[in-house]
């Protein structure tokens, strides 16, 4: 069994924000593979879906604890359901990567991502797989003085980004399948 956790913030206010691309990626994976509908599990503080990919049992989770407390839900899900860090994949936005770049990393620090840091702190390990999806505009180099991560990540994708976003989510879904 594999647990794939998409990071984001719950609620309509954050639905189409860049910080929620982790939610969007696993929602795309869920639809593409005809998984069950997401249902809220109050104990886990997460919305859960499940299905199979290539005969492998997969659980998808969207923590409802807000990004900075994602570790709460992930710890409960791993402890309660017998998942280990070897069967955990975390999907999240990455401000340091340009929009559309998808990188897979294993056993790496949070690099300032508060959701990843929360998971590392709650699990007391960083030895899990992460699928990082770039959200920084390509025309803004890393460290641009006029681009502040804290406010930028909570901005919604522009209408003209929708085609690019669909391509990014397909690419992220493929990256996840390659790991499984």
Enzyme catalytic residues: 19
DSSP string across 11-59: SGGGTTBGGGHHHHHHHHHHHHTTPPPPEEETTTTEEEEEEEETTEEEE
Tokens read off for 26:
């696993």
Which value, to the nearest 10 degrees, does the dihedral of the CA atoms of residues 82, 41, 104, 152 take?
-150
Q: Are 156 and 14 in contact (CB under 8 A)?
A: no
What phi, psi does 95 have (nearest 5°)?
A: -65, -25
Q: 124, exposed or middle or buried, with CB in 10 Å at 0-12, 13-18, 19+?
A: exposed
Q: Using CA atoms, how far apart are residues 107 and 70, in angstroms rounded to an integer?
A: 18
Beta bridge partners of 104: 131
């Amino acid at each position: 069994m594999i647990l794939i956790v998409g990071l984001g913030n719950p609620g309509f206010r954050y639905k189409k924000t860049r910080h929620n691309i982790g939610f969007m990626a696993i929602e795309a994976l869920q639809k593409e593979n005809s998984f069950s509908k997401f249902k809220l599990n109050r104990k886990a503080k997460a919305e859960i879906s499940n299905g199979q990919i290539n005969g492998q049992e997969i659980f998808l989770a969207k923590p409802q604890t807000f990004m900075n407390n994602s570790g709460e839900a992930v710890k409960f899900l791993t402890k309660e359901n017998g998942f280990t860090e070897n069967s955990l994949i975390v999907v999240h936005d990455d401000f340091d990567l340009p929009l559309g770049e998808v990188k897979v990393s294993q056993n790496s620090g949070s690099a300032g991502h508060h959701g990843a840091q929360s998971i590392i702190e709650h699990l007391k390990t960083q030895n899990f797989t992460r699928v990082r999806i770039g959200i920084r505009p390509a025309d803004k180099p890393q460290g641009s003085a006029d681009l502040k991560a804290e406010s930028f990540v909570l901005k919604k994708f522009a209408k003209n980004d929708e085609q690019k976003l669909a391509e990014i989510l397909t690419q992220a879904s493929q990256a996840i399948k390659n790991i499984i």
